Amino acid sequence: MSILIDQNTSMLMIGITGKQGRIHCKRTVESGAKLLAGVAPGKGGQEVEGVPVFETVAQARETFPQITAGMLIVPRQFVKDAALQALKEGIRLLVIITEFVPVMDALQIVRAANECGAKVIGPNTIGVISPGKSKLGIMPDYIYGKGHIGIISRSGTLTHETASNLTFKGFGLSTCVGIGGDSIIGMNHADVLELMAADDDTDAVVMIGEIGGTSEEMAAAKIKELGLKKPVFAYIAGMYAPENKRMGHAGAIVSGGMGTVKSKIAALESAGVTVCPTLGKLVEAIDTYNRKSNGRLQSLEPQID
């Protein structure tokens, strides 16, 4: 079992003929994921890496009605229309890679998704991967070993680093979700945490957060609400970030004492989360837990050489 996607997930890519679309189409196909179609207005009838291109999502789903998931990788001024079309035409898991999507556009997308019962990951995300099963995103799948640790992260780079560190040390991942770094996103830490709590393949959870917003505090409240017994480990980036200055991600900004590292750590620790000062210490904490639990978090695949 896994969350959000598995080996049977059929997907399409919106923006497949662009430079980044072509790069990630190739990598997605090579990963073994079931990328059945691409969408690019004015480019219908073409192929990218053997994947047929359609003018609209409706045309793609008419040919491949089993498609229910999509990845959107288009310039930010086109994100809203493309996303709303995808949701209208039956896409129920939409990963929005594009960053700095206008706030009002993102709000409309999230509202439309809620109204039709769809899930949105992003904007400004690397997507989602269930190692050994499938991926709907732009992460290098070879650094994500298969196993029993779930990762929920606002940072793509820190997700990659954590996944590679864990895989190198002999641990593996069940599902990794980059929730996105924009100020308005679809699924947050708490939403994904609830799915991982019910996932038989996930025995422990890693949360990677950063300054700004309340996603981490909401996750702490969710842990208490669920009475979660699975161990949760966390790292919060931005300890020394100045107030009222955006740090990389649109959502990474401290204002009026809200969204600070200290406030997030306090909330998480009150929920029983092991909060680590560095990513290295996070791996050490997981290793300590693993030894005490007779190796239940060990990888299902060979370590990275």
Catalytic residues: 249
CA distances, 68 to each of 20, 28, 201, 243, 265 (Å): 22, 16, 23, 41, 37
Tokens of 129: 């991967």
DSSP string, 178-238: E--SSSS-SS-HHHHHHHHHT-TT-SEEEEEEESSSSHHHHHHHHHHHHT--S-EEEEEE-
C-alpha span between 178 and 123 (Å, rounded):
10
Q: Give yes or no for a contact between 208 and 278, defined as CB atoms under 8 angstroms apart.
A: no
> Coil, strand or helix: which one is 147?
strand
